Amino acid sequence: MIAIPTKSSHTGQDYLPKNVTETTKRSPNQSLLPLTAKINPHDHLEIGGCDLKTLVQQFGSPLYILDETTLRTACQQYRDNFKTYYQGESQVIYASKAWSCLAVVGVIAKENLGFDVVSGGELYTTQKALSQLGYSCQEIAQKIYFHGNNKSVVELEQAIEVGCTIIVDNWLELETLAQLGNSSPNRTIPILIRLTPGIECHTHEYIRTGHLDSKFGFDPNQLEAVFTYLTEHKSLDCRGLHAHIGSQIFEKQPHQDLAGVLVEWLKIGQEYGLTLPELNIGGGLGICYTEEDDPPSIEEWVKAVSEAVMKACKRSEIPLPKLIAEPGRSLIGSACVTAYTVGSRKEIPEIRTYIAVDGGMSDNPRPITYQSAYRVVLGNKMSAEINETVTVAGKHCESGDILIKDAQLPQTHPGDILVIMGTGAYNYSMASNYNRLPRPAAVLVHNGEANLILRRESYDDLIRQDCLPQKLLS
């Protein structure tokens, strides 16, 4: 578990794990910093054997720093614990929307996980990475599940060409796929049916997807009509059911309840003559963004879900399905930090002190979008005493561009390296070019080596898609 800063201990060391003998036994989602984080003799934060100040000098800032050990450990814990606790076949697939790029796909594929994609772009990225890694077309098809509540015909045709499983979200999509299947009589289209189970979680309104008032999935009262439709359209190979109840969840009970509901629906589908050999219970396990966060470990979550599915199947007297889970944030969120360079300072007596960094809402839109909280350290002064409360502001022309309110830090100076923790999920993937800021670079660190995985955008990149009409030039 993470260390909790106390009034008697005020330095960046408070955020480092303590009393840990084996890094890989810790659950990454319960740690504020990546598993390899430590302080080196220069009093600098070091991750993956790389000095963060040196990384900023080499690659610039803002800079996403992704720890390969932490990412791989999370993958292994999900994969291996399902093998331990679930008596049937299982498959863990990464929710790519958390962060999709060739290198992230590559690392996760090396741990034998599959991929949940939600757009043609994510599908293309995943397909390209797996192809470059040497996977066959058949292997690629088996690894990818395609989500989305409004897939275009072009995207559906793209998915059919790849051969991946399509998670069907609504009637329009189901009917469109049937039509596309009829145009290719020698091909069946593997699908799962997404359902809205009516299970709510204590999480942010924008990231609750399992309650009935949701844009995602078929409602339960449509279930039998969907099953009837599937029996009439043999080009659609329905492999099973899917549901996802939300994100950043700290409770195990909602997923246990979900398992029971889905198994009941699975049995109904089998009574219609459908085989339905797969059950996808989604993802949503939370991570620690602050020391107050207390999510279950990956092992605890997997054990609870596995036991709930097995119990429900025994009660319903049906064979164990292939159990699929699709974690995203809990795989990659804690594996990354973002390093910034401190710039200007503004002190408003008896009100607030602002320090500004060279990034902000364009590289991390979660604070302004979800009011998300983060923790921060000075990466070049880890042992310095924390002696002031400041608000960390971004550089954008937007008064709401605040990364952290009331951050506890040592005295800062221009040029210091400020490090925000837990930025692996939904930071780069939601990044923008607001104010025409180029998006940051990202590096993968491991055993003292840093490899560039995303180049920093240039000003030329910003205008690459711009078109100046000829009439303006005459």
* Active-site position among 201, 336, 397, 467: 397
SS3 readout for the chain: CCCCCECCECCHHHHCCCCCCCHHHCCHHHCCCCCCCEECCCCCEEECCEEHHHHHHHHCCCEEEEEHHHHHHHHHHHHHHHHHHCCCCEEEEEEHHHCCCHHHHHHHHHCCCEEEECCHHHHHHHHHHHHHCCCCHHHHHHHEEECCCCCCHHHHHHHHHHCCEEEECCHHHHHHHHHHHHCCCCCCEEEEEEECCCCCCCCCHHHCCCCCCCCCCECHHHHHHHHHHHHHCCCEEEEEEECCCCCCECCCHHHHHHHHHHHHHHHHHHHCCCCCCEEECCCCECCCCCCCCCCCCHHHHHHHHHHHHHHHHHHHCCCCCEEEECCCHHHHHHHEEEEEEEEEEEEECCCEEEEEECCCCCCCCHHHHHCCCCCEEECCCCCCCCCEEEEEECCCCCCCCEEEEEEEECCCCCCCEEEEECCCCCCCCCCCCHHHCCCCEEEEEECCEEEEEECCCCHHHHCCCCCCCHHHCC
Catalytic-residue membership of 397 = yes
Residues known to be catalytic: 397
